[in-house]
């Protein structure tokens, strides 16, 4: 009876079988490229249930779409191709691509994905472990490291920028030192451990859930599915000042007195060792009464526009500067007010720093006033020319004084002669 109970406990339920994850396929040694004639070991680690007769469930192996005649957890292979494994009730594992080379020099890179913050190790290997001299490693055809003899190239904490197509070159003594030889190029991709965080608003002070007031913010990010168990820490900043140092919590509450200050915040997510750190875009707290926006902003919100008493926008312009002009009394129908201020635009008691925006009708009436002002300025120019001429040679204008004055005439005087020409305006 006890034996039967123990056997029944080993039989998984249908729910457990449906929830099984795919097995993990590993390679030993962990290089995707080997020399012709070498053998490597593949191991399939997953859930292996037991039947009532206590016989282990066989492991299925695939080379491409071909089912191999092997049923153990580990097998040795030397044939190039794409390998997968499967246990009963579980999906097929991720593939491993094995390459076999007949070159003198090969570049060996890890078979498993390399994530940000993890070490990236690669090895330039000579034919059957012959020593490689004058060793160079290249990334995207650019030399990144040199060694006198055989050595691994290691990036202690890989970054996305370390991705690329790698290659190595060197010489070997076979039996004398050979010319430089190059390996085939191998693509290496550094996987993103987690996405750049985004700072979002969760609730406002008026929210019933906000027991202590303030605004609750959350630093959101997403881990890679293969690294979903990696713990992350979060820090929060207001401009360049730290408001909460790295902690395991992804949420931060802005104190209620600071809510209405419209300050800009950002957060940072990092691994426990700080090998990978990523920051979020800026987020500005919305003003009181504005809708809750869960999307981050990269620029501060515009300030509210100033309004006139009649809710019209104000135009802040520099007040005009009045310039004094000497009055010319000998000539009638010409006044200082008429020259500086055309009809209908007499000056007020004082200039206003804030003037309301000009309407369309006023802008339409501006052109005739400008034309009148230009004619008055031309008249003033002629009058001043006549005064200057009279001061220099009083006899030149003796005959002109006896002629009747024409208010709308413009006197143009040539600087090189004493003759005066009357031009009708």
What pLDDT score was predicted for residue 188?
94
- State the pLDDT at residue 290: 54
State residue 419's pLDDT score: 41
Q: ω before 175 within 30° of 0 (cis)?
A: yes
Using CB atoms within 10 Å of the CB of residue 395, give its burial: 0 to 12 exposed, 13 to 18 middle, 19+ buried: exposed
60 vs 345, residue with greater confidence: 60
Q: Tokens 């190029």 appear where?
A: 185
Considering only CA atoms, which of 110, 115, 118, 114 is closest in space to residue 273? 118
State mean pLDDT over 23-46: 93
Give the pLDDT confidence of 298-314 residue by residue, as tens digits. Answer: 433 333 333 333 333 33
Average pLDDT along the chain: 74
Highest mean pLDDT among 127-131, 136-140, 174-178, 259-263: 136-140
Instruction: Name the band, by pLDDT with cuts 50, 70 and 90, for residue 254.
Output: confident
CB contact set of 113 (below 8 Å; sequence gap of 6+) = 189, 191, 226
Tens digit of pLDDT for each residue in 310-323?
Answer: 333 333 333 444 44
For residues 291 and 368, which has the higher predicted lDDT (pLDDT)? 368
| Residue reference for tokens 């290089």 | 31
- Mind listing the domains of the chain with CATH numbers? 2-100 (2.60.40.10), 116-191 (2.60.40.10), 198-284 (2.60.40.10), 315-346+354-424 (no CATH)
pLDDT single digits (tens) 154-171: 999 999 999 999 999 999
**Which residues, 6 or more positions from 135, have their beta carbon under 8 angstroms from its beta carbon?**
124, 146, 147, 148, 149, 150, 151, 168, 169, 170
Residue 407: predicted pLDDT: 43
Q: Between residues 98 and 375, which one has the greater pLDDT?
A: 98
Check residues 74 and 17 and name the one with the higher pLDDT.
Answer: 74
DSSP 182-227: EPPPEEE-EEPSBPPPEEEEEE-TTSTT-TT-SEEEEEE--B-GGG
Question: Which pLDDT belongs to residue 2?
Answer: 41
Would you state the structure tokens that stand for residue 138, as one six-digit string? 């290249």
Q: What is the mean pLDDT of residues 46-73?
A: 76
Entry pTM: 0.58
Confidence grade of residue 204 (pLDDT, cut at 50, 70, 90): low
Using CA atoms, how far apart are residues 32 and 29, in angstroms rounded to an integer? 9
In the chain, the N- to C-terminal Cα span, in Å, equals: 129
pLDDT of 153: 96
**How confident is the model over 263-279, as a mean pLDDT?**
92
């Amino acid at each position: 009876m006890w034996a039967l109970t123990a056997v029944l406990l080993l039989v998984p339920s249908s729910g457990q079988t449906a929830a099984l994850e795919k097995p993990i396929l590993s390679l030993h040694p962990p290089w995707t490229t080997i020399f012709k004639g070498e053998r490597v070991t593949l191991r399939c680690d997953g859930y292996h249930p037991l039947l009532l007769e206590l016989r282990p469930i066989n492991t299925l192996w695939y080379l491409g779409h071909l089912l191999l005649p092997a049923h153990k957890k580990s097998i040795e292979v030397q044939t190039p191709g794409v390998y997968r494994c499967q246990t009963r009730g579980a999906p097929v594992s991720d593939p491993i691509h094995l390459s076999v080379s007949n070159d003198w020099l090969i570049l060996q890179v890890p078979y498993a994905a390399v994530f940000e913050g993890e070490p990236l190790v690669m090895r330039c290997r000579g034919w059957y472990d012959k020593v490689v001299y004058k060793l160079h490693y290249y990334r995207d055809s650019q030399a990144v490291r040199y060694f006198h003899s055989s050595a691994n190239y290691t990036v202690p904490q890989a970054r996305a920028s370390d991705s690329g197509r790698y290659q190595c070159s060197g010489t070997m003594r076979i039996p004398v030192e050979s010319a430089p030889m190059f390996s085939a190029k191998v693509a290496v991709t550094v996987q993103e451990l987690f996405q750049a965080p985004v700072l979002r608003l969760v609730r406002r002070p008026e929210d019933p859930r906000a027991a202590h007031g303030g605004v609750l913010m959350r630093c959101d990010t997403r881990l890679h599915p293969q690294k979903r168990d990696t713990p992350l820490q979060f820090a929060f900043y207001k401009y360049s000042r730290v408001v909460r140092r790295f902690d395991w919590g992804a949420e931060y509450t802005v104190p209620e007195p600071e809510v209405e200050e419209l300050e800009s915040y950002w957060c940072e997510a990092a691994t426990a060792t700080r090998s990978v750190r990523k920051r979020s875009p800026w987020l500005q707290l919305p003003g009181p009464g504005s809708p809750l926006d869960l999307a981050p902003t990269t620029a501060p919100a515009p300030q509210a526009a100033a309004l006139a008493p009649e809710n019209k926008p104000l135009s802040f312009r520099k007040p005009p500067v009045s310039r004094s002009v000497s009055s010319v009394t000998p000539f009638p129908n010409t006044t200082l007010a008429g020259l500086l201020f055309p009809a209908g635009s007499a000056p007020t008691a004082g200039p206003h720093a804030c003037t309301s925006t000009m309407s369309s009708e006023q802008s339409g009436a501006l052109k005739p006033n400008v034309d009148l002002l230009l004619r008055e300025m031309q008249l003033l120019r002629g009058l001043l020319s006549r005064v200057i001429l009279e001061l220099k040679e009083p006899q030149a204008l003796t005959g002109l004084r006896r002629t009747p004055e024409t208010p709308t005439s413009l006197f143009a005087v040539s600087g090189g002669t004493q003759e005066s020409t009357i031009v009708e305006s």
